[in-house]
Amino acid sequence: MNRKSEDNIAKLAFGELSDAEASDVLRNVGGNDEASSALIAFKEMRADLQLLRDVPPDQLSKQRLQDAILGQGLKPERNAGSWNWIWAPVATAVFAFVLTSVLRQAPSQDPIVAVNETTPADQFAMFSERFDLNDRDIDFSPRPEIVSGDAVVRVANKNRRGGSRAGLAPTSSSVSLEGPVILIEPERDAGTGAQRAVEVDSYEDVLVSS
């Protein structure tokens, strides 16, 4: 009996053939002692295997399982497909958006252009009268005059000889100097013929009088 025949007999014994296939196999088994013995053996094996389904009762318990899980220090694993990972890039994007918005809202001030039209003597007279200063307290370097809108304001450096700023009070001018200050120098550039301009980093270094 070849292997294919033996397999067909096993399928027949275990009920895995269609009616037509079973009829064919039975026809070949008939009259063949070896095939008949094989069919009987497989049928008995099938019946006995079914009896092996009964097993002694187990002693598994939920407590025993829980102890085993806790004993290995296990914690519930989060699903890898959950959306928890998305919060970091979302938070970064929100922060970037907020930061950009805050920066955009910062007032952009047009620079204030100051034209230096005063002479040192004029400036000294102006400031000494107001602040009760003498020529030993004042820096005689040219002081620019700020032109802001229709108002003309005079500007002086706050840095005096001696270092102290006492006595130099801010003006009561209504001109607002919150933005950068561009000081236009009276001298013209030799190459281009245009007046030189100097940008003052902070208006706090500039004293305004009007």
Partner 1 sequence: MASYAIQSPIIARMELDTDAALVMRARDGDYGAFETLFERHKTMAYRFAYQMTSRRDDAEDIVQEAFVRAYQNLHRYRDEAKFTTWLLRIVTNLCTDQARMTHRRTNLEQQQAADSLDWMTIGTTEDPNENLEQDRRREALRKALSALPEHHRKMIVLRDIEEREYSEIGAIVGCSVGGAKLRVLRARRALRDRIAPLIGKDQE
Q: Alpha carbon of 74 to those of 61, 65, 158: distances in Å? A: 18, 12, 71
Q: Which residues make Cβ contacts (< 8 Å) with residue 152, sequence separation at least 6?
A: 145, 146, 210
115-141 burial code (b ≥16 CB/10 A, e <16): bbebeeeebbebbeeebeeeeebbeee
Which residue lies nearer to partner 1 by CB, 76 or 193? 76
Q: Using the structure block, give the residue that is written with the tokens 């097993």.
A: 55
Which residue lies nearer to partner 1 by CB, 76 or 162? 76
Is 15 a binding residue for partner 1 by CB under 8 A? The answer is: no
Hey, what amino acid is at 40?
Answer: I
Is 18 a binding residue for partner 1 by CB under 8 A? The answer is: no
CB of 58 to partner 1, least distance (A): 4
User: Quick one: which segment of 9-17, 91-99, 105-113, 187-195 binds partner 1 (CB under 8 A)?
Assistant: 9-17
Q: What is the DSSP secondary-structure string of 9-64?
A: HHHHHTT-S-HHHHHHHHHHHTT-HHHHHHHHHHHHHHHHHHHTT--PPP---HHH
Is 168 a binding residue for partner 1 by CB under 8 A? The answer is: no
Is 194 a binding residue for partner 1 by CB under 8 A? The answer is: no
User: Quick one: which segment of 4-12, 17-25, 172-180, 187-195 binds partner 1 (CB under 8 A)?
Assistant: 4-12
Task: Compute and round to an integer the Cα radius of gyration of the chain.
Answer: 51
Is 40 a binding residue for partner 1 by CB under 8 A? The answer is: no
What tokens does 158 get? 């706050």
Q: Please work out the total of residues on this chain that contact partner 1, with binding judged by CB under 8 A.
A: 37
Contact 180, 170 (CB under 8 A): no
Per CB under 8 A, which of residues 50..109 are in contact with partner 1?
50-56, 58-60, 62, 64-66, 68-69, 72, 74, 76-80
Is 174 a binding residue for partner 1 by CB under 8 A? The answer is: no
For partner 1, the binding residues (CB under 8 A) are 3, 6-7, 10-11, 14, 38, 41-42, 44-46, 48-56, 58-60, 62, 64-66, 68-69, 72, 74, 76-80
